Chains A and B, each alone.
Chain A
Amino acid sequence: MAERQREEAMDRDVDRREFVLGFVAASFGTVALTSGVAIAAGGAVLDQPWAVWAKDARPVRGGYVRIAVEQYIGKMNPNHWPVLDWVSMGYFHEKLMITDGTYSANVPWLAEQVTWENPQQVIMRLRDGVTFHDGSAFDAENVKFQIDWIRDPASKAWDVSWLAPLDSVDVLDNRTLRWKFKAPWAGFNGVCASVPGYMMSAKALRAEAEKYDSQPQGTGPYLLEEASPGNFLKLKRNPNWWFAKASNNPDMPYFDGILVTVIPDPAVRLANLRAHTVDILTLEKSQYAAVSGDPELNVYRFPANHVNALRFNVTKSVFRDIRLRKAVSHAIDREALIAGTQFGLARLASCMYPEDHWCHNPKLKPVAYDPEMAKKLLAEAGHGGGLSVRGYYSNTSMGQTVAEAVKSMLAEVGIDWQVELLAPVAATARMKDLDYDLAQGGWIYIYDPELIATGLYHPDGGFNFGRSRNEPAIALIEAGRKEVDPVKRQSIYWQLEQVLYDSYEDAWLWWEQTATAYRKTIQGWNQEGILKYKEAWFWSHPLWFKDGKA
């Protein structure tokens, strides 16, 4: 594979820089996965076609970029909950693998090469020359310590269930690890491209693991300079970022630093953007129309891999009765919700996986809006005179709007949803205690299909806590973990979607779309590249200020 691309590079009339890049890239290994789902010819990150810089792009060092967000990041140890800002997490933490545009974790990042000896054993070679922000070396010992730390129940890692198929991880030498699984594990790459794959400094974890929540030591392009909980995060440039050297771009990352300010009110955030005190802003859906015409801003809109849903307490509430779950699901006018609360910036969801995900079952249609049926079902289940249920929803501006809209829709069919608007910590407590009937559900950052499925529906899943116990689904989840044949694996997850759909396990609402505004001084965004390569593009293409000045 590397051979062919080198020929192509020589065949084209390329300039010297691209040639050097291609040469450097070709000297890195490629990834070979027996899962074979890797479509875009899974190669090392640097010899992907999209890694080639545009000829007239001249990144310039300099400038302090300011971003405004709605919520403070919360915990900075990704294995602890709640973490409310994964974008910022990605500034100082990096993962072993990252996903490409097909939702497959094919792109090695901190791992250099992943070799499957057999479906139950993987040899992983780590990248050389990577150091943590506290100076300690990123090596095999470090990775082993971290994985063992996650699996230790005393660490209270919410993602420990994702490592359940792991038998052991052993250090072979300074840069090599052997991962042994209890059974064939198709989702291993996916887990390395998810939360357990964020590499943390073992030195810091050993010293005081609790402190890590506020003083992370990662390998990322920016290191934490100052954190004021609830107010801001100040990050400064990591001059020793490995990717800068590896991609022969010593100026990376281009920004001198990042200031992430927490501004809870959407109007104030937008006013800051207009006043040029903020450079990058994720827009509220209602602001998109007004802002997209602004000549000083570039506004980009792209599908995001998050799903919004309502979760039922299937095991311990009235929603044990599937008729009531159906009633709720059919009582919601999803199209109206999307039109009115999302201003069209959402895609109507049929089930969990977004429509461009390879595990999305194309035969499933979004649940129809049928309030009459809902009323009938309610009466059948013995609640013709009305049903009162409790729950919670996020207390952000958007959360309030959606919760109220849904509450009103449910009221129309006779269901009184006593919904409380809660901050993340309080919501987590309720979720853990199953202290709700109907609450906010959904999932953010859907990548490998196993992760969301386990997290939500497996008994040990990080976000289940016993609220869902769908035996056929659990069986399918465990089968999907082990199935290495990509076609068979896809069919398993399609079946899983069907099972969850038929049992109305959740009321899926929509898949997200994001709209982000950038001041025109920020360069380097390639909408095509992002649509095509998603995470892999974000991670390998740092932005820069035109002229290096904010």
Chain B
Amino acid sequence: MGKYIGIRLAHSLVILAIVIVLVFIIARLIPGDGIMAAMAGSVDLHDAQVVERVRHQFGLDQPIPLQFAVWIGQFVRGEWGTSIGTGENVLDMFRSRLPITLELFFGATLWSLAIGIPVGIIGALKRNSAVDVCLTAGTIVGVSIPVFWEAILLIYVLSVVLPIFPPSGYVPFSENPLLNLKAMVLPSFVLGTHSGGLLARYVRSSLLEVLGQDYIRTARAKGLSEPAVVARHAMKPGMIPVVTVIGLSWGGMLAGAFFVEAIFAIPGLGRMGVEAIFQKDFPVVQATLIVVSVNVLLVNLLVDVLYGYLDPRIRVRP
């Protein structure tokens, strides 16, 4: 097990290095005058001295490898720079918005579990029946439907036509917990359907595989009723993919969060990321890309380790 973890860790470090280089390249691809354009709103760029100052401030006057080294150093130390658009400290921006996005993710995960597990189980138990075909089609639709359209549709049906849920507006939890939760229902549902559909399919196939095993047949032969067979012997091993799917869809949820937060006007990381990308606010873009990719990297590593723990076969062939 230790060897397995060690190898995965080593891989992750190499990947991390490449990721950092990638982010640096992307961020600097935003052309230099993009940075200038963003700064033009606040400083007078016709003054050569000012231009020099700005270039120095962003390190644009250094050779590229030096810029890279300096940037990594700053990043690790927590000096993530200042947003060009709003002038806020980038790290502070992350800190204030992270809990909000986490709440959204948490809600989305709950929804995906609430949708995925029952649908997957029913699909497996009633395989190839009309119900199963419908559910399978439903899960594919859930996975395919663009998250931004789903958001619009649900807003239309559940907020405009039938005013059940508040259509947007984040109310801080500390202010009014009930309103906060109510406002989060729709956004987290929209975000959760994609991974919910994915989960349903994994659960179904995994459960089917388990149900086809010999020891299940034995249990049936012993005379156990079908529900007892399923509940006692099939459920636990069948649920193994749940953890991994949640982990694997984390990345997709991050992307979905961009849209969901923008549409529902939730002041989270996703919305910040989208706006920063559009305004070419490259300190924020850099930081967002790093945070996102490191996040996915960590989750993947965790999932791999967990999977290795749960399924010994994997450890043999890393």
A and B touch in the complex (CB under 8 A): yes
With A and B bound together, what is the CA distance between A332 and B4 in angstroms? 70
Q: Cβ of B167 and Cβ of A231 under 8 Å apart?
A: no
**Across the two chains, which residue of chain B brings its CB closest to A273?**
B167
What residues of chain B lie closer than 8 Å to A264, measured between beta carbons? 262, 265
Which of B166, B267, B279 makes the CB contact (< 8 A) with A275? B166
Q: Are B163 and A426 in contact (CB under 8 A)?
A: no
* A232 within 8 Å of B (CB atoms): yes
A-B contact count (CB 8 A): 91
Q: Is the CB of A429 within 8 A of B41?
A: yes
Known contacts A261-B169, A277-B169, A423-B279; is-contact A267 B155 (Cβ 8 Å): yes
**Contact of A429 with B169 in the complex, beta carbons under 8 Å:** no
B-contact 0/1 string along A142-153, CB 8 Å cutoff: 000000000000
Q: Is A265 an interface residue (CB 8 A)?
A: yes
A230-B275, A265-B263 as given contacts; A272 in contact with B37, CB under 8 Å = no
The range of chain B's interface size is: 35 or more
Whether A156 sits at the interface, judged by CB under 8 Å, is: yes
* Residues 397-452 (chain A) with a chain B CB within 8 angstroms: 423-426, 428-430, 432-433
B295 part of interface (Cβ distance < 8 Å): no
How near does chain B come to A527, taking the closest CB pair, in angstroms?
A: 28
Q: Known: A214-B87, A267-B155, A425-B85. Contact between A274 and B163, CB under 8 A? A: yes
**A-facing mask of B240-283, CB < 8 A → 1, else 0?**
00000000000000000000001111010001100100111000
Question: For the complex, what is the distance from the CA of A143 to the CA of B98, rounded to whole Å?
Answer: 42
Which chain A residues numbered 260 to 316 have a C-beta less than 8 Å away from chain B? 261-265, 267-268, 271-272, 274-275, 277-278
In the assembled complex, B96 has its CB within 8 A of some CB on chain A: yes
Q: Is B37's CB under 8 angstroms from A271's CB?
A: no
- Secondary structure call for the B interface: loop
Residues of A within 8 Å of B41, CB to CB, are 81-82, 424-426, 428-429
For A231, A264, A433, which residue has the most chain B Cβ atoms within 10 angstroms? Answer: A231
| Given contact pairs A263-B168, A425-B279, A268 touches B88 in the complex (Cβ within 8 A) | no
A248 CB–B CB distance under 8 Å: no
Q: Check A268 against B263 for contact (C-beta < 8 Å).
A: yes
Point out the residues of chain B lying under 8 angstroms from A267, CB to CB.
152, 155, 160
Q: 18 additional contacts, CB 8 Å, given A268-B264, A272-B169, A428-B40?
A: A68-B169, A80-B42, A81-B41, A228-B96, A229-B88, A230-B86, A230-B267, A261-B265, A263-B168, A267-B155, A271-B167, A272-B168, A274-B160, A423-B278, A425-B41, A429-B36, A429-B41, A432-B45
Query: Which A positions have Cβ atoms within 8 angstroms of B?
Result: 68, 80-82, 156, 210, 213-214, 228-232, 261-265, 267-268, 271-272, 274-275, 277-278, 423-426, 428-430, 432-433
* 28 residue pairs from A and B, CB less than 8 Å apart: A80-B42, A82-B41, A156-B44, A228-B96, A230-B275, A232-B267, A261-B265, A262-B265, A264-B262, A264-B265, A265-B263, A268-B155, A268-B265, A272-B167, A272-B168, A275-B163, A278-B169, A424-B41, A425-B85, A426-B37, A426-B279, A428-B40, A429-B40, A429-B41, A432-B40, A432-B45, A432-B46, A433-B40
> Which B residues are within 8 Å of any A CB, using their own CB?
36-38, 40-46, 85-88, 96, 152, 155, 159-160, 163, 166-170, 262-265, 267, 271-272, 275, 278-280
